[in-house]
Chains A and B, each alone.
Chain A
């Protein structure tokens, strides 16, 4: 599978960056081939808004299926769920340590709270989701492009 870790530096030994959208780098690893690449997220880290969605877009284009990170903001969370990219919580350590712990099945999944956000009464995200006609996932209903909230 393709895995990404949000990091503060480009090395395998760089510390994990706990802010997903504003992470300085993403380290992308293909667990089957062992191939690793580093994504520079300097531009994303500096945007006023939309850092989370932007990061998800980039990871999605690379085919990333899971991300190891710390704090995921509500807009990023919505996008990760829509993209079916799993997110796992890392608490400190380096990128390679995080991967080891993940592969050992010891990381907690960042499960979305019922109301979204970290506090039980998180922000109301106004997001329209438009499902494309040919590819719907099994078991999911086709919603028209109305103003969905997450």
Chain B
């Protein structure tokens, strides 16, 4: 079962939900892998504190010019749509950071003067946190593109009954890359105007990708009914509501898992798992209800 934990808005509690969910599943005796796909700002390891097992660099290909064969025709520079190649009278410059690794320059070169070499762009770390197998992808500072590192992290996930993917915030490519092959997506939101606004955007992505999804409301506030109303109207299930409590905020600020710092909250995650199990086994309704 591949479960992604995503959200439109950043900071709603994806990592909190994903990490605590993984640990609870392990406590239930399930084999679990937690994969941190928020490669621009991975934080799961701060709470799970895995013992490191291995580390693999992620790289992409960038061109290298062989001066002996280069005709200085400039075809490579003209082809490159990312301004990564500058062809000067006596030399060729290649800007690795601007290169998108498309391989086009190599193809258009009339004299086969270009080869490709690896350029590091990130790292995937694996580790173990109790019974939870942990994988974390990190994008190098200065690199623009997350999806290759996200893909590498997902590929490094060991087989398990449950694979929990901690997604990046937002609704663009990095989030899509994380959720695209999952069985179910938990959208974590907060009952604020920003939270609801961005939840709607995330739900739209779910619909476009034909993914089954449900909502977890974090910092739930009984005085803010808009989120619940929207979910009811769209027949989107709310699988858990985590209360807005100072104790939880303190545990988070201390880098502690909720279920370990506050064992009284274990049932909340037990119930989340029970509802999750029921949801993923429901048939996908083609129309999916009305999403406002």
Contact = CB atoms under 8 A, between A and B. Distances in A.
Interface string A106-150: 000000000000000001011111111101110000000101000
Contacts of B65: 128, 130, 145
Interface residues of A, number: 29
Given A53-B83, A53-B86, A145 B93 contact: no
Contacts of A130: 64-67, 70, 91-92, 94
Nearest to A63: B89
Contacts of A57: 77, 83, 86-87
A71 interface: no
Contact residues of B: prevailing secondary structure: loop
A50 B84 contact: yes
Interface string A48-64: 01110110110010000
B84 A82 contact: no
A24 B83 CA distance: 17
A29 interface: no
Given A49-B144, A82-B88, A147 B93 contact: no
Interface in B90-105: 90-98
Contacts of A79: 86, 88, 93
Contacts of B194: none
B72 interface: yes
Nearest to A140: B90
| Contact count band on B | 20 to 34
A23 B26 CA distance: 57
A78 interface: yes
Given A49-B83, A51-B83, A132 B91 contact: yes
B90 A137 contact: yes
Residue from A47, A57, A129, A131 with most neighbouring chain B CB atoms (10 Å): A57
Interface in A7-27: none
A145 B88 contact: no
Contact of A133 (B68, B77, B92, B95): B68
Contacts of B97: 49, 125-126
Given A51-B83, A57-B83, A128-B93, 15 more contacts: A47-B83, A50-B82, A53-B86, A53-B95, A56-B86, A57-B77, A57-B87, A82-B88, A83-B88, A126-B96, A127-B96, A128-B62, A128-B94, A129-B92, A147-B96
Interface of B: 62, 64-68, 70, 72, 77, 82-84, 86-98, 119, 142, 144
The list of the 5 closest CB pairs from A to B, nearest first, reads A50-B83, A130-B65, A135-B90, A54-B83, A126-B96
